[in-house]
A and B are shown apart, each in its own frame.
Chain A
Amino acid sequence: MNQDYINIALADDDEDDRLFFTDAFDELKIQTRVTTYNDGVYLMDYLNSEDALLPNVLFLDLNMPRKTGMECLKEIKANPKFNDIAIAIYSTSASEEDIENTFIQGANIYIKKPDSFKKLKKALAEVVTINWQYHTSGLNKDNFLLRL
């Protein structure tokens, strides 16, 4: 490992959600750098730019204007350049159909947006810790599925 921090990105059109998200990482033991994008178009523009620093874990809101999380997911999975990014869906939806569909399309993690800041911190800590084990212990990322 040349880096001892994890790069995290979030695309979400809700400003409050972005703020809570960034704050939640400040208190984790694992060092992280968090970048947020206001919607799917901004996110994909950045990822497709030539000198983009790709995140280790990317959180996608499903319902975003202009480009939805699902559209981003499909684009990302279609491009081998993004193979190393672990994708987490971060959504208010808890429909079994949504959840299973995103997994089938290649998402690694599905988090239903928690209803308290405390729970959010706990969920994000779990995601980052497990992702870290995949990252540092050579586990097979294709089999990485986690639902919180």
Chain B
Amino acid sequence: MKVFVKFDFNAVCAKILSEKLDELDVKYKILGFGEVEFLEKLSSQKYDTFVQSLDNYHIEIVENQKSILVQKIKDTIVDMVFNEDANINVKTSAYLADALGHSYGYLSNLFSEVTYTSIENFIILQKIEYTKQLIIEGNLSLTEIAFKLNYSSVAHLSTQFKNTTGITPSAFQRIIAKRRAIQKK
């Protein structure tokens, strides 16, 4: 028997984080966006234990201010793409600027500098990744996926998918299905 599981990465990570923090036995507050505030002084020994315990999950402490802000931009984008209730009537640039308290120009330059890609491309990549996931789950038609992700038409989604990956959504679906069939053997 095979089942598909869906992850809520934010929830998973928050759970791991709070578990590991509890083990440390210090007072802390999780501020969201992967930010943790320690309410008392942390011994360097405890800090090292903390770093190591997170390392098992490939979670690392970001020390650089620029990386922190870039991570916040990414989290906000992922939240916008995956969360249907997010306000879709607001322009992305305005939404990001508002959520993070910096001008969009600043955020956009910083993002390109650190990630080698633009915010616009990153959003497209996230939407296409989400599309792939929905195609594989197989509960929605491409038309329904296009609607869910706020594309003006299924043609627009198909074109963007092809431009981003070099293959069509149906070729993607076919390849993944055949790959699975081979792995089963």
Q: Which residues of A contact B (CB under 8 A)?
A: 1, 29-30, 100, 103-106, 110, 129-130, 132-133, 136-140, 143, 145-148
Q: Give the chain B neighbours of A130 by CB distance below 8 A.
A: 125
**Subset of 10 A-B contacts with CB under 8 Å:** A104-B178, A132-B117, A133-B115, A133-B117, A133-B122, A136-B115, A139-B125, A143-B132, A145-B166, A145-B167
Q: Is the CB of B165 within 8 A of A146?
A: yes
Q: Is the CB of A100 within 8 A of B171?
A: yes
Q: Is the CB of A147 within 8 A of B165?
A: yes
Q: Which residue of A lies closest to B176 (CB)?
A: A143
Q: Which residue of B lies closest to A129 (CB)?
A: B116
Q: Which residues of B contact A (CB under 8 A)?
A: 9, 60, 74, 115-117, 122, 125, 129, 132-133, 136, 165-167, 171-172, 174-176, 178-179, 182
Q: Is the CB of B166 within 8 A of A104?
A: no
- A143-B136 CB under 8 A given contacts A105-B182, A133-B122, A138-B9: yes
Q: Is the CB of A132 within 8 A of B115?
A: yes
Q: Is the CB of B165 within 8 A of A140?
A: no
Determine how close the nearest CB of chain A comes to the CB of B137; give it in whole angstroms. 12
Q: Which residue of B lies closest to A2 (CB)?
A: B60
Q: Which residue of A lies closest to B131 (CB)?
A: A143
Q: Is the CB of A30 within 8 A of B175?
A: no
| Interface residue from A104, A110, A147 paired with B182 (Cβ < 8 Å) | A104
| Interface residue from A30, A132, A148 paired with B166 (Cβ < 8 Å) | A148
Q: Is the CB of B166 within 8 A of A147?
A: yes
Q: Is the CB of A132 within 8 A of B175?
A: no
Q: Is the CB of B172 within 8 A of A145?
A: yes
